[in-house]
Amino acid sequence: MGVYKRTEITVETHEVLIVRRAHVYRGWCPLCAREVDMVGVPDARAMAGIPVDGGSTKSAKWHVSEEQETALVCLESVLKSI
């Protein structure tokens, strides 16, 4: 009987998303229960690669705050959905 040698390789990857064109706001996320960075719905769709007219924010499981005049999306929930 021969001795078998096993080599295991683990690869870790990290991804960095730089938001330059989006207007980022600080606001209260009711689902995170803390102050977070927030973006508008069109910017969130662009980050997630969702067409402007496709899908709802609820199907993406984003944390949406509609306390302001325009709906803002919790940036952390957008990044978790990508």
Q: Which residues lie below 8 Å from residue 68, measured CB to CB, with a gap of 6+?
A: 27
Q: How many CA atoms within 13 Å lie on the side-chain side of 71?
A: 12
pLDDT grade, residue 55 (50/70/90)? Answer: low
The reported pLDDT for the residue numbered 58 is 63
| pLDDT surpassing 80 at residue 63 | yes
Determine if the pTM surpasses 0.75: no
What is the spatial distance between Cα 40 and Cα 21, in angstroms, rounded to a whole number? 11
The pLDDT tens digits for 3-46 are 888 888 888 887 776 667 668 889 999 899 999 999 988 888 88
Structural domains counted in the chain: 1
Give residue 27's domain range.
1-82
pLDDT grade, residue 57 (50/70/90)? Answer: low
